[in-house]
Amino acid sequence: MKALSDVLIRPLITEKGTNQTADHNQYAFEVASDATKIDIANAVRQVYKVQVVKVQTLWVKGRPKRLASQRRMGRTSNWKKAVVRLAPGQQISDATQ
């Protein structure tokens, strides 16, 4: 089992994520690249004291980025995103602020 601080990197607070929270009781997190769905579910359970129903993961591809000091293009890193659905009636107050 991985350390909790190694699994959950940060909650993602976006307009789309806020709508998902209101409509479907889902929360989005940036997670470690080698974290499994079971690791993510256990980390959310222990950190936020809620019951997790489902975890969906996806890879977000890095975007091209212009390096101002040099005349060439670079890239941001790829990262892993997890969408966690909670049991009805439960919510995470810290993740939406």
Edge to edge, the sheet with strand 8-11 lists: 8-11, 26-31, 79-86, 52-60
pLDDT of 20-46, one tens digit each? 888 999 999 999 999 999 999 999 999
**What is the pLDDT at residue 1?**
57
Domain edges within the chain: 4-65+72-88
The dotted CATH code for 4-65+72-88 is 3.30.70.330
Please tell me the distance from the alpha carbon of residue 89 to that of residue 66, in angstroms, as a whole number.
45
Query: pTM of this prediction?
Result: 0.86
Is the pLDDT confidence value at 95 over 60? no
Average pLDDT of the chain is 90
